Amino acid sequence: MNLLSCYDEAIGLAKTGDFTGLDSFFKQWGSRHSSGANRGEWLDHMLPEYSALDVSIKAYLLDALVAIDMEAACRLAEKDLETAYWDFRGRGGHVHQHLSIMAQMEGADLPTICLDYKQNMAMASAVLDGSSLKRVLHDQAQR
C-alpha cells in the first residue's frame, strides 16, 4: 500500500480511538518513507485536513512531525495556534459554566470571572474528588 493510503487508514483508525495504526505508520517512517519527496507529498496531503481533526490526533501528529521535520512542525504550530487558543478558551469556559450552575443551585458564591483556569480546574477536581463546592470555595476564601 502506498504512503498516503497507509496514512489515511491510520487516521481512520485513530478516529475510533485506536492509535496503533499511527504508531506503525511513524515507526516505518525512518526505513520506508523518509525521502524528501515522500515527506513533501505527505505534508501536502496531511496539512489541509489537520485543523479539523480531534485534538488528541492533532497532538499525536504534531509530536510525530517534530521528529520528522522541525521546520514544518513549527509552521503547523503557528498555523493552528489560533484554533488551539480559542478551543482552549471555549473548553475552559465550559468548565466554569458547569461550576457556576452548580454553585447557584448549592447556594455557593463562585467568582464570576471564568478566565482563572487554574483555579477553576482546582475547584472542579476537588468537586470530582467528592468535596462540596461550598466547602471548596470556603477553603479557598480562607487562604
Nearest to 66 by CA among 57, 54, 77: 77
Piece in contact with another protein (CB under 8 A), picked from 5-13, 15-23, 32-40, 62-70? 62-70
111 counts as binding another protein under rule CB under 8 A: no
Inter-CA distances, 9 with 28, 46, 49, 64, 71, Å: 14, 13, 14, 17, 26
Query: Does 140 sit near another protein (CB under 8 A)?
Result: no
Per residue, what are the HEC states of 69-92? CHHHHHHHHHHHHHHHHHHHHHHH
Instruction: With CA atoms as reference, report the closest residue to 104 among 133, 124, 131, 136.
Output: 133
Asked if residue 55 binds another protein (CB under 8 A), the reply is yes
Instruction: Please provide residue 34's backbone torsions phi and psi, each rounded to the nearest 5 degrees.
Output: -80, 0
Confirm or reject binding of residue 69 to another protein (CB under 8 A).
no
Per CB under 8 A, the list member of 14, 33, 58, 110 interacting with another protein is 58
113 scored as a contact of another protein (CB under 8 A): no
Q: How many CB atoms lie within 10 A of CB 85?
A: 10
Residue 15 in the binding site for another protein (CB under 8 A): no
Q: Which of 18, 30, 67, 81 binds another protein (CB under 8 A)?
A: 81
Question: How many chain residues bind another protein (CB under 8 A)?
Answer: 42
Q: What angle do CA 25, 29, 34 make, to 5 degrees?
A: 145
Return residues touching another protein (CB under 8 A).
55-56, 58-59, 62-63, 66, 70, 73-74, 77-78, 80-82, 84-85, 87-95, 97-99, 101-102, 104-105, 115-118, 121, 124-125, 127-128
